[in-house]
C-alpha cells in the first residue's frame, strides 16, 4: 500500500485536575487525567483509519491532537515526515489547509448566526485560499458535492433552518472546501437518526475518495468501523490495545479487550443472538489508571502478577497486526 | 386474553401550528411473559405510546381514541387516582429514557425506591421496605450496601441498574423500558441487556422495550412493532420481521444496522427524512421515501393486513397487491 502520512510516537496528553484554592495552599500533589498515555500508530495515505473505544478511552483527545487542536504533552506527531508536534501557531497555518476536522454534534459545531454560505466560506477567507468570484464558485461547487442542491436554496439558510443530516453536510462541506489531505471526523453521524446515518456517511466516504482525502474516523461503534475502515485501532484508558487491518481485527482479535468489545456489540439478527461473554465492571478513572496493563482489573484472561506490575510492550503478532498484551509478549 | 391489548390508539398534541398526530391508530398486544420491541426513529411516536398507556402525557397531549386494555380493563376510562393507585408501579412500571438523570441527586437511592414502595404498600414498615430495596439491588447485580449511596456516587451503568430495580419494586406485571441502554458504553450496554434478559426469565416479566436500535431488540425481544410517523408499519414475530420484512421501511431500517459478523459491505441508506407530523403526506406516510411507491400509495392510506399467522401484520399497498 501507500506511504505513511501520519506517524504518532508515544503520544501523551495529561490534563491537570483542578485542585482548588485549598488544595494548592496545602500543596497537595497535582493530579492529572491521563487522557492519552503513550500511543503509537501510523495512518497511510488514502486509508480510512478507525479509532475505536469507549467513552474515556482518549480517542477524541488523540484525534484532536493530530490536527493540533489540543497541544500534546509528550510524544511526537509527524506529517509527511515533518515534525508537527510543537510547530507554533503561525507555522500551523499552511497545515490547517491540509488537515480539517468534522465534529460530532452538528447542532453545536455550526454558528447559529451564520448562513451556510458564510460557514463554508470562512475557512477559505481566513486561510487565504480564495476570494471574490472564486470563493463563491467554490462554495457553490462544494454544496453541490454534499448534495445540498440547488446551492442557491441552501446558501442563505441559517443552521436552525436545516435538518440534522443537512447540518452535517454543511460541516462536511466546510471541512472539504479547502481541499485538505487529511480529515478527522469525530463520531460524525452518532447524533443523527438511524435512517439518515447511512446516507450521510456514504456521502462522506464517497467525497473522501473522490478528493483523495485520508480519513480518521473516531467512533465507539465497532460494527460500523468494521464496514467502513481499512484499519482499526482499539483504545482503552489512554492506551492503544490493538491495531490491525479491519478484517483481521474482527476475525482474529488477539487482545482480551478487543474480544470483549466484539462480543458486546449487539447483533441485528435474532437467530445469532445472545452473546454471553460479558466482562465485569466499568472503565476505571483515568486520574489513577491501574498499574501494569490498564485492562488487568477486568481482564478475563488475567495471567497474574505480571499484568499488575509490568506494562505490556507492543508486539507485532501478524502482518501489520500489533497487540499490547502479556499473553502475546511472553514468547 | 393478552396482558396488554392496545386497540386503535390515537394520541394528538396541540401545538400553535395545529394538532400533531403523534400516535395514529396503533394496535398491538403483549402476552404474559413476553417482551415486545417498539422500534422507530426519533419523533415516530414510540415514547408517546408509552406515556399514553400510563397516562403520563404532558398537558398539551391528549389520547382521543382507542383503548388500552390491561388485564381486560380499559385504562383510558380510569380516573387519575385509580391509575396512580392500581396501575403505575404496581401493574405497569416505566424505566424512563435517560435513566441516568432520572434519579433525584439530593436523596439517597434507597429513599427514592422506598417512595414508590410506600405509596403502594403503606402498611409495610420502613425497615422492611429498605430490606426489600437491598434485595432488589442484589437482583439487579448491585451490591446491597450501596443503597446508602447518593446517585452521584454511581456510574452510568449502576444508575441504570438502580432505575431498573426501582421499576421492579412493586412487582409489576409489565415493565416498559424506554431506551434502557442507549447512553451507555458498549460493554455496559451488553451487561444491562444481559440483566434484562435474566430478569425476564426469572420473574416471568412482560416487557415493552422502546428503542431506535434494532440490534438491541434482536438481542432481547420475542416480537417487534416497527413504527413510522405515528403508525405501526409492520408487526410480528421477531424472526419473521428480521428475516423476511415486507414493508419497505422495515427492510430499510433493518439494513441500516451494520452487523459485525457480516462480511464487509457498504452501508445501505434510506433516502430522505421522516415527515412533519403536522402535515403528513397523503396516503401512505412513507411514500415520499419509498422506492416502490405507486399511484395508489398517494391516494389511499394502506390498510393493516394480517398475513398467515395472526401475528404478522403489515400496512403496505405493495403487499396488498400480491
For the stretch A238-268, pLDDT in tens is 999 999 999 999 999 999 999 999 988 888 8
pLDDT of residue B269: 81
Q: Which residues lie across from B232 on neighbouring strands?
A: B227
Element (H, E) at B57: none
The answer to whether the beta carbons of residues B253 and B214 sit under 8 Å apart is yes
Confidence of residue B257 (pLDDT cuts 50, 70, 90): confident
User: Cβ B186–A197 below 8 Å, yes or no?
Assistant: no
**Residue A281, pLDDT above cutoff 60:** yes
Residue B186 lies in a domain: yes
- Whether residue A209 lies within 8 A of chain B, CB to CB, comes out as no
How long a stretch of residues is chain B? 322
Confidence of residue B99 (pLDDT cuts 50, 70, 90): confident
Among B134, B169, B204, give the residue marking a domain's end. Answer: B169
- What is the rounded distance in angstroms from the CA atom of residue A186 to the CA atom of residue B187? 20
Residue B306 lies in a domain: no
B142 and B232 assigned to the same domain: no
DSSP letter, residue B219: H
Among B113, B147, B169, give the residue marking a domain's end. Answer: B169
Residue B21 lies in a domain: yes
Element (H, E) at B22: strand B18-30
B126 and B255 assigned to the same domain: no
Contacts of A224 in chain B (CB under 8 A): 258
Residue B292 lies in a domain: no
- What is the rounded distance in angstroms from the CA atom of residue A282 to the CA atom of residue B209? 24
User: Cβ A283–B197 below 8 Å, yes or no?
Assistant: no
- What is the rounded distance in angstroms from the CA atom of residue A289 to the CA atom of residue B19? 53
Residue B252 lies in a domain: yes
Residue B198 lies in a domain: yes
Confidence of residue A276 (pLDDT cuts 50, 70, 90): low
Radius of gyration in angstroms for the set of CA atoms belonging to chain B, rounded to a whole number: 20
If you average pLDDT over every residue of chain B, what do you get?
Answer: 91
Contacts of A270 in chain B (CB under 8 A): 218, 238-239, 242
pLDDT of residue A273: 56
Confidence of residue B260 (pLDDT cuts 50, 70, 90): confident
- What is the rounded distance in angstroms from the CA atom of residue B175 to the CA atom of residue B178? 10
B57: buried, middle or exposed (CB in 10 Å: 19+, 13-18, 0-12)? Answer: middle
B21 and B122 assigned to the same domain: no
B204 and B75 assigned to the same domain: yes
pLDDT of residue A245: 96
How long a stretch of residues is chain A? 331
User: Cβ B155–A273 below 8 Å, yes or no?
Assistant: no
Residue B208 lies in a domain: yes
**Residue A119, pLDDT above cutoff 90:** yes
Confidence of residue B55 (pLDDT cuts 50, 70, 90): very high
| Per-residue 3-state assignment (H helix, E strand, C coil) for B85-127 | HHHECCCEEEECCCHHHCCCCCCCHHHHHHHHHHHHCCCCCHH
User: Cβ A195–B253 below 8 Å, yes or no?
Assistant: yes
How many structural domains compose chain B? 2
**What value does the mean pLDDT take over residues A97-121?**
93
Domain of residue B147, residue span: 99-169
pLDDT of residue B276: 86
User: Cβ A202–B269 below 8 Å, yes or no?
Assistant: yes
- Whether residue A279 lies within 8 A of chain B, CB to CB, comes out as yes
- What is the rounded distance in angstroms from the CA atom of residue B14 to the CA atom of residue A30? 55
User: Cβ B270–A198 below 8 Å, yes or no?
Assistant: yes
B87 and B202 assigned to the same domain: yes
Instruction: Identify the closest residue of chain A to B185 by CA–CA distance.
Output: A54
User: Cβ B254–A268 below 8 Å, yes or no?
Assistant: yes
B160 and B177 assigned to the same domain: no
Instruction: Identify the closest residue of chain A to B183 by CA–CA distance.
Output: A55
**Residue B322, pLDDT above cutoff 80:** no
Confidence of residue A272 (pLDDT cuts 50, 70, 90): confident
B157 and B218 assigned to the same domain: no
Among B260, B275, B295, give the residue marking a domain's end. Answer: B260
pLDDT of residue A107: 84
pLDDT of residue A330: 59
B208 and B227 assigned to the same domain: yes
Contacts of B185 in chain A (CB under 8 A): 54-55, 220, 282-283
pLDDT of residue B119: 87
**Residue B310, pLDDT above cutoff 80:** no
pLDDT of residue B43: 85
Element (H, E) at B268: none
Interval A169-215: pLDDT, tens: 999 999 999 999 999 999 999 888 888 888 899 999 999 999 999 99
B120 versus A174: which is more confidently predicted?
A: A174
pLDDT of residue A218: 96
The answer to whether the beta carbons of residues A62 and A235 sit under 8 Å apart is yes
Residue B188 lies in a domain: yes
Can you list the domains of chain A with their CATH numbers? 4-20+31-329 (3.40.50.300)
B180 and B249 assigned to the same domain: yes
The CATH code of the domain that includes B86 is 3.40.50.300
**Sheet with B231-237: strands ordered across:** B92-95, B174-178, B206-211, B35-39, B223-228, B231-237, B312-314, B305-307
B65 and B187 assigned to the same domain: yes
The answer to whether the beta carbons of residues A46 and A214 sit under 8 Å apart is yes
B86 and B195 assigned to the same domain: yes
C-alpha cell at A203: 456521502
| Per-residue 3-state assignment (H helix, E strand, C coil) for chain A | CCCEEEEEEEEEEEEECCCHHHHHHCCCCCCEEEEEEEEEEEEECCCEEEEECCCCCCHHHHHHHHCCCCCCCEEEEEECCEECCCCCHHHHHHHHHHEEEECCCCCCCCCCCCCHHHHHHHHHHHCCCCCHHHHHHHHHHHHHHCCCCCHHHHHCCCHHHCCHHHHHHHHHHHHHCCCCCEEEEECCCCCCCHHHHHHHHHHHHHHHHHCCCEEEEEECCHHHHHHHCCEEEEEECCEEEEEEEHHHHHHCCCCHHHHHHHHHCCCCCHHHCCCCCCCCCCCCCCCCCCCCCCCCCCCCCCCCHHHHHCCCCEEEEECCEEEECHHHHCC
Q: What is the C-alpha end-to-end distance of chain B, expressed in Å? A: 32
B177 and B256 assigned to the same domain: yes
Interval A39-73: pLDDT, tens: 999 999 999 999 999 888 999 999 999 999 999 99
pTM over 0.80: yes
Amino acid at each position: 500500500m501507500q506511504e505513511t502520512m501520519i506517524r504518532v510516537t508515544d503520544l501523551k496528553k495529561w490534563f491537570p485536575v483542578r485542585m482548588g484554592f485549598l488544595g494548592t495552599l496545602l500543596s497537595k500533589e497535582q493530579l492529572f487525567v491521563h487522557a492519552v498515555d503513550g500511543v503509537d500508530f501510523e495512518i497511510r495515505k488514502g486509508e480510512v483509519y478507525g479509532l475505536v473505544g469507549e467513552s474515556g478511552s482518549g480517542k477524541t483527545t488523540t484525534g484532536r491532537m493530530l490536527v493540533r487542536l489540543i497541544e500534546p504533552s509528550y510524544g511526537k506527531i509527524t506529517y509527511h515526515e515533518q515534525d508537527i508536534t510543537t510547530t507554533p501557531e503561525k507555522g500551523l497555518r499552511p497545515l490547517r489547509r491540509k488537515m480539517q476536522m468534522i465534529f460530532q454534534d452538528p447542532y453545536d459545531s455550526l454558528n447559529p448566526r451564520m448562513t451556510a454560505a458564510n460557514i463554508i466560506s470562512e475557512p477559505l477567507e481566513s486561510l487565504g485560499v480564495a476570494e471574490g468570484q472564486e470563493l463563491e464558485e467554490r462554495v457553490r461547487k462544494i454544496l453541490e458535492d454534499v448534495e445540498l442542491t440547488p446551492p442557491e436554496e441552501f446558501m442563505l439558510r441559517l443552521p436552525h433552518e436545516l435538518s440534522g443530516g443537512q447540518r452535517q453536510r454543511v460541516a462536511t462541506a466546510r471541512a472539504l472546501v479547502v481541499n485538505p489531505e487529511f480529515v478527522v471526523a469525530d463520531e460524525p453521524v452518532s447524533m443523527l437518526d438511524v435512517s439518515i446515518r447511512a446516507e450521510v456517511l456514504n456521502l462522506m466516504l464517497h467525497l473522501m475518495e473522490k478528493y483523495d482525502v485520508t480519513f480518521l474516523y473516531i467512533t465507539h461503534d465497532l460494527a460500523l468501523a468494521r464496514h467502513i475502515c481499512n484499519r482499526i485501532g482499539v483504545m482503552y484508558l489512554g492506551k492503544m490495545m490493538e491495531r490491525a487491518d479491519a478484517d483481521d481485527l474482527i476475525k482474529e482479535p488477539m487482545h482480551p479487550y478487543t474480544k470483549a468489545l466484539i462480543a458486546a456489540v449487539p447483533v441485528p439478527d435474532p437467530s445469532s443472538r445472545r452473546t454471553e461473554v460479558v466482562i465485569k465492571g466499568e472503565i476505571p478513572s483515568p486520574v489513577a489508571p491501574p498499574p501494569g496493563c490498564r485492562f488487568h482489573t477486568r481482564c478475563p484472561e488475567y495471567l497474574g502478577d505480571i499484568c499488575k506490575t509490568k506494562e505490556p510492550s507492543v508486539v507485532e503478532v501478524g502482518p501489520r497486526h500489533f497487540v499490547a498484551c502479556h499473553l502475546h509478549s511472553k514468547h | 386474553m393478552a396482558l396488554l391489548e392496545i386497540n386503535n390508539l390515537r394520541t394528538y398534541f396541540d401545538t400553535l401550528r395545529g394538532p400533531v398526530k403523534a400516535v395514529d391508530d396503533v394496535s398491538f398486544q403483549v402476552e404474559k411473559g413476553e417482551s415486545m420491541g417498539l422500534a422507530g426513529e426519533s419523533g415516530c411516536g414510540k415514547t408517546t405510546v408509552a406515556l399514553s398507556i400510563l397516562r403520563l402525557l404532558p398537558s398539551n397531549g391528549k389520547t382521543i381514541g382507542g383503548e388500552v386494555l390491561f388485564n381486560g380493563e380499559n385504562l383510558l376510562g380510569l380516573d387519575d387516582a385509580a391509575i396512580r393507585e392500581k396501575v403505575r408501579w404496581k401493574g405497569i412500571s416505566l424505566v424512563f429514557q435517560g435513566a441516568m438523570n432520572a434519579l433525584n441527586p439530593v436523596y439517597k437511592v434507597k429513599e427514592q425506591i422506598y417512595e414508590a414502595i410506600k405509596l403502594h404498600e403503606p402498611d409495610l414498615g420502613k425497615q422492611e421496605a429498605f430490606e426489600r430495596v437491598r434485595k432488589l439491588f442484589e437482583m439487579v447485580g448491585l451490591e446491597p450496601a450501596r443503597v446508602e449511596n447518593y446517585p452521584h456516587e454511581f456510574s452510568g451503568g449502576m444508575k441504570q441498574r438502580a432505575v431498573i430495580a426501582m421499576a421492579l419494586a412493586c412487582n409489576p406485571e409489565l415493565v416498559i423500558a424506554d431506551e434502557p441502554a442507549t447512553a451507555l458504553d458498549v460493554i455496559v450496554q451488553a451487561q444491562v441487556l444481559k440483566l434484562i434478559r435474566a430478569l425476564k426469565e426469572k420473574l416471568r416479566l412482560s416487557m415493552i422495550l422502546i428503542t431506535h436500535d434494532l440490534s438491541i431488540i434482536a438481542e432481547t425481544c420475542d416480537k417487534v412493532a416497527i413504527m413510522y410517523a405515528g403508525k405501526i408499519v409492520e408487526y410480528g414475530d421477531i424472526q419473521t420481521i428480521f428475516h423476511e420484512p415486507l414493508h419497505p421501511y422495515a427492510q430499510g431500517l433493518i439494513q441500516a444496522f451494520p452487523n459485525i459478523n457480516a462480511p464487509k459491505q457498504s452501508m445501505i441508506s434510506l433516502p430522505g427524512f421522516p415527515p412533519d407530523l403536522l402535515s403528513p403526506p397523503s396516503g401512505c406516510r412513507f411514500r415520499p421515501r419509498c422506492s416502490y411507491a405507486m399511484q395508489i400509495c398517494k391516494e389511499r392510506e394502506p390498510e393493516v393486513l394480517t398475513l398467515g399467522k395472526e401475528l404478522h401484520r403489515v400496512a403496505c399497498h405493495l403487499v396488498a397487491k400480491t
